[in-house]
Structure 1
Amino acid sequence: MPLLWIVTALWAFSFSLIGVYLAGQVDTWFSALSRTVLAALVFVPFLKPRQIKAQLALKLMAIGAIQIGLMYSFYYHSFLYLSVPEVLLFTVMTPVYITLINDLLEHKINYHFLFSALLAIVGAITMRYTELTSDYLFGLLLVQGANLCFALGQVGYKKLSEQQTLVHHQSFGYFFIGASVILGLGFMLFGNAQQLPTTELQWGIVIYLGLVASGIGYFVWNLGLTRVSVGELAVMNNALIPAGIMVNLLIWNREADLLRLGAGSLIIFCALIYSQRSAKLNSANKSAI
């Protein structure tokens, strides 16, 4: 759980950095591709191809292609139609996707985890509900596509780590290679090579997002998700929302309703506590059997 909180604090800046400095100014395909390529450069030197079977490498590439490659394809384009608060608002469905995908794979429904995910959504909507722009519908669909891909990748990585013994830092390079393949194709087919970063600030943000937010962030996040229950993972996906709002409030001086922020954060915290207790109860019941 501490690893997920660390990455939550790290990623809280990404929403505003993308929305304020990159969206509409730098080609979205290039912005997304640069993140995965830079992140891959961090982990490729640690790869151990001779110790990793081809089948496992392909699975890691497929998970990366979905969790980051396809997710970024939807996510970055959503900023062209939505404000940063709207993007934050529309990410609230991710916990439900995580819970339902996991239940589908296990052929059962965990009502405790589903309830905690729904409670987290209530908390997120409480703090971030705002008036929506006229283009919100298409933006909403883009964000939901991103949410679904992110959820699929997280559950897939968690399941793979339970089935295989992963030395994470020695195999994670394949994760970013898979994502880079998807985004590379997108840039070649739809990208605009004339719309690259033009200022040192933009280049600095691109490099930061690639090396730190993606490279370190996704590695630590995926490592952390292997150590928590599905319910806890689902709730932590919405912890990004209050964190993102606080960054907007403190750095970019955006107006925020502190009462809603506090109430929504409290609801998400309650959802997290509920999911933790449910996970412990499930473990105790399995031990008793």
Structure 2
Amino acid sequence: MGYLSAVTLLWAFSFSLIGVYLAGQVDAWFSVLTRVVLAALVFLPFLRRQHLHWRLALKLMVVGAFQLGIMYCFYYQSFLYLSVPEVLLFTIFTPIYVTLIYDMLHRQFSAWYLATAAIAVLGAAVIKFEGINEDFILGFFIVQGANLCFAIGQVGYKRIMEQEKVDLPQHTVFGLFYLGAIAVALPMFVLFGDTSKLPATTTQWGILIYLGTVASGLGYYLWNKGATLVNAGALAIMNNAWCLPD
């Protein structure tokens, strides 16, 4: 739980930074691409071919494409429709997705894990509910897309590592996770990006660098490694551990 707890603290500031300094000011597709490229630059130097086979490489890239690439595409768009508290509120459904996907992959059903996830959702709803406006349906579904991709990614990574040899140094293969995210983010920026809305201040650039290298680079590695060390119920609960009052 130590890795997951550390990352919740690391990610605690990201929502407000994006909502206040980036959303509506910096092109969302550029923000996504910048974050995943910077994160990749952190881990690609550690990549070691002797720990790889093509199936593992492909699986890691697919997981990264979902958990970071597609998820960020949904996530950043949600801030165009919702306030920061609303985005936080709607992310509370992730534990249920985590539990259901994990059980589906293992062809089982754990009522206990689902119950603990549901309790986490209800608890987070009580903590974060602050009154929301009436025009939030589209934003709600966008956030659910992000939640689902995030759940698919972390459960997928946990499943992959369960199938690999236990002594695999995860940092020596994790760069491929970010390459998968880039494979999604780059074409999305090329197709939909607005080059007239690139970062205009040192503050915006600084926030993107922090989000890319620390929140995404270090954060996603520690989160996914932590996911391999706990059961699905604990992982589901930790998905709402950051849901504290702003």
Smaller-chain TM-score bracket: over 0.9
Letter in 2 for 1:28: A
Deviations 1:81-104 (A, max 9, x none): 000000000001100000011111
State the 1:157 CA deviation: 0.3
3-state DSSP of counterpart to 2:130 = coil
Residue aligning to 1:164: 164
**Residue 197 (structure 2) aligned to one of 178, 195, 198:** 195
Match of 2:213 among 211, 214, 219: 211
SS in 1 for 2:42: helix
Deviations 1:201-260 (A, max 9, x none): 000000000000000000111111100010000000001111xx3xx3xxxxxxxxxxxx
Q: Counterpart in 1 of 2:106? A: 106
Tell me the equivalent position of 2:44.
44
Question: What is the alpha-carbon distance in structure 1 between the residues aligned to residue 85 and residue 39 of structure 2?
Answer: 27
Match for residue 154 of structure 2?
Answer: 154
Q: CA deviation at 1:131?
A: 2.0
Question: What is the TM-score when the length of structure 1 is the normalising length?
Answer: 0.83
Q: Which amino acid aligns with 2:72?
A: Y
In 2, distance between residues paired with 1:94 and 1:86?
A: 15
- Residue number in structure 2 paired with 1:285: none
Question: Which SS does the other structure have where 1:131 is aligned?
Answer: coil
Matches within 5 A, 1:1-289: 1-165=1-165, 166-242=168-244, 245=245, 248=246
Q: 1 CA distance for matches of 2:111 and 2:51? A: 40
Q: Distance in 2 between matches of 1:179 and 1:193?
A: 20
TM superposition shift of 1:105: 1.4
Q: SS of the residue aligned with 2:197?
A: coil
The question of whether the paired residues in 1 share the 8 Å contact of 2:51 and 2:172 is answered with no
Residue 129 of structure 1 and its aligned partner are, at CA, apart by 1.1
Could you tell me which residue of structure 2 aligns to residue 270 of structure 1? none
Deviation sequence 1:41-98 (CA, Å, 0-9, x none): 0111111134311111111000000011010010000000000000000001100000
The one-letter code of the counterpart of 1:181 is: A
Asked if 1 retains the 8 angstrom alpha-carbon contact of 2:98 and 2:151, the reply is yes
**Cα distance, 1:119 vs structure 2:** 0.3
Q: CA deviation at 1:33?
A: 0.9
Instruction: Report which of the two structures shows the higher radius of gyration computed on alpha carbons.
Output: 1
Q: Deviations over 1:249-273 (max 9, x none)?
A: xxxxxxxxxxxxxxxxxxxxxxxxx
Paired residue secondary structure (2:218): helix
Q: Which amino acid aligns with 2:220?
A: Y
RMSD: 0.9
Task: Give the distance between the partners of 2:80 and 2:120, measured in 1 at CA.
Answer: 27
Unaligned runs of 5+ in 2: none
| Contact 2:51 2:173 survives alignment (8 Å) | no
**Aligned amino acid, residue 126 of structure 1:** V
- Aligned residues: percent identity? 57
Q: Secondary structure at the match of 2:7?
A: helix
- Write the distance in 2 (CA, Å) between the matches of 1:226 and 1:107: 19
- List alignment gaps of at least 5 residues for structure 1: 249-289
Alignment-mate amino acid for residue 237 of structure 1? N
